[in-house]
């Protein structure tokens, strides 16, 4: 082995021209080891590169010692930038997405529990036997008014305690809120039939006056009921309320059966009612179809009849409970709560020129919100009389 400059040759002899080329290449690469056969023909079997001694030694030298940094007086550190609170959209808590169904489910469960409790209490407190507890030829309890006894006279007896007996139940079930919504739609000349003890009086807009009257204002109010005792309580409530002192709306109270053939009193000598409102009356009157016919006759062509009632529900098991307790409930509260109100309204609409505008049902379908108006043909007939 021979070293030529920075080139190490193995297995001589070799031509001087090749040596010159290798020397140049070795000088560029920093060291070259070539292994070749003894023949003059060049065939490299291995080429290994190595670093020069100077480069290899430079890597092993100790690094230069570090110079101490010049002393600087410490300055007061500036506060770190406050982290921005994550936006509600980017990092919203998963609980926020669950709170709505949780609250809705809780309200629904509470309402169903309250209604179930109401049914149970009313069922077990109702008299077990009654002269009005009849059955049809098929053995099923009567669900149509013509087969049910008239128990409306009971209102004269229960008038003093009626409000106390239904206040909590109506509040828990949301009936009070429904009364408020119903009364809020009253406008023009208003008639409330079967007004009872006046449980809707607080919800009317008594601030209306002729000076600032609008289409939504109440122009006059008539309260009508068959029970004189109930009507007396309604009058006392109104006279003691702040509304009676502030309102300028004409108010009158009339004792009359809305199912009788006698015409309902008119708000003006030649006028009719723009709004006729009634709550829990179709279940208590002896003939609800006749009552709806009378209401239609007293309704203005563009008027509305607003009803809040309770009757048969959507499910057979619920109707079974209503049927079993219907007679006892009627004796105690004067209300047949298992009447088929859908059939009653359809029957009345066929013969009175009324049509159903809206029906909403709550509490398993037992609470009915019904809105009626006159058919267009009936309106046209009245306008051309």
Domain containing residue 337: CATH number: 3.40.50.150
41 and 120 in a single domain? The answer is: no
pTM metric for this prediction? 0.66
pLDDT at residue 282, as a whole number: 94
**Residue 6 shares a structural domain with residue 141:** no
Residue 225, strand partner residues: 255
Number of folded domains in the chain?
Answer: 2
Sequence-ordered alpha helix ranges (H) in the chain: 16-29, 53-60, 94-125, 154-158, 162-173, 175-184, 228-240, 242-246, 288-297, 316-333, 341-352, 376-383
Query: Which stretches of the chain score pLDDT less than 50?
Result: 2, 4, 6-7, 9, 24-25, 27-29, 31-53, 56, 88, 90, 128-140
With respect to residue 79, please indicate whether it lies within any of the assigned structural domains.
Answer: no
Q: Which domain holds residue 11?
A: 2-56
Q: How many Cβ atoms sit within 10 Å of the Cβ of residue 87?
A: 8
Same domain, 185 and 286: yes
Tokens of 70: 């010049």
Say whether both 187 and 302 belong to one domain: yes
**Read out DSSP for 110-172?**
HHHHHHHHHHHHHHHHS-S--TT----TTSSPP-SGGGS---TTHHHHHGGGHHHHHHHHHHH
**Rounded distance between C-alpha atoms, residue 216 and residue 141, angstroms:** 44
Q: Are residues 230 and 372 in the same domain?
A: yes
Q: Is residue 189 part of a domain?
A: yes
Same domain for 132 and 262 = yes
**The predicted structure's pLDDT at residue 246:** 83
- Integer Cα distance of 223 and 231 in angstroms: 8
**159 assigned to some structural domain:** yes
- Report the DSSP pairing between strands 367-374 and 299-310: antiparallel
Q: Answer with the one of 56, 71, 91 that is the final residue of a domain.
A: 56
Residues 52, 147 within the same domain? no
- Confirm whether 305 is domain-assigned: yes
Place of tokens 């600032």: 212
Domain-located, residue 231: yes
pLDDT at residue number 69: 62
């Amino acid at each position: 082995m021979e070293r030529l400059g920075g080139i190490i040759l193995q297995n001589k002899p070799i031509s001087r021209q090749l040596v010159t080329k290798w020397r140049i290449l070795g000088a560029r690469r920093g060291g070259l080891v070539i292994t070749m056969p003894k023949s003059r023909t060049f065939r490299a079997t291995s080429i290994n590169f190595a670093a020069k001694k100077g480069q290899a030694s430079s890597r092993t030298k100790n690094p230069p010692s570090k110079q101490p940094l010049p002393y600087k007086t410490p300055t007061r550190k500036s506060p770190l930038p406050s982290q921005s609170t994550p936006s509600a959209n980017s990092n919203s808590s998963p609980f926020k997405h669950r709170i709505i169904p949780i609250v809705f489910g809780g309200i629904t469960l509470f309402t169903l529990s309250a209604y179930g409790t109401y049914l149970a209490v009313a069922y077990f407190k109702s008299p077990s036997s009654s002269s009005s507890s009849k059955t049809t030829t098929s053995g099923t309890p009567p669900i149509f008014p013509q087969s049910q006894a008239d128990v409306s006279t009971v209102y004269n007896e229960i008038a003093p305690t009626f409000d106390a007996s239904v206040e909590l139940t109506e509040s828990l079930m949301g009936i009070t809120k429904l009364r408020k919504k119903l009364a809020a739609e009253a406008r023009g000349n208003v008639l409330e039939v079967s007004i009872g003890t006046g449980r809707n009086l607080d919800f009317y807009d008594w601030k209306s006056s002729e000076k600032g009257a609008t289409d939504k204002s109440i122009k006059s109010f008539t309260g009508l009921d068959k029970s004189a005792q109930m009507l007396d309580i309604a009058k006392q409530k109104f006279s003691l309320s702040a509304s009676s002192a502030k309102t300028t709306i004409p108010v009158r109270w009339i004792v009359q059966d809305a199912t009788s053939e006698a015409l309902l009193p008119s708000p003006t000598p030649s006028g009719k009612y723009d709004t006729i409102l009634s709550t829990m009356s179709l279940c208590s009157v002896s003939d609800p179809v006749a009552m709806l016919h009378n209401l239609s006759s007293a309704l203005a062509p563009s008027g509305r009849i607003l009803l809040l009632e309770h009757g048969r529900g959507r499910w057979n098991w619920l109707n079974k409970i209503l049927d079993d307790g219907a007679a006892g409930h009627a004796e105690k509260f004067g209300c047949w709560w298992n009447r088929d109100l859908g059939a009653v309204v359809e029957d009345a609409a066929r013969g009175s020129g009324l049509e159903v505008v809206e029906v909403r049902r709550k509490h398993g379908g037992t609470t009915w919100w019904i809105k009626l108006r006159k058919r267009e043909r009936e309106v046209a007939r009245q306008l051309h009389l």
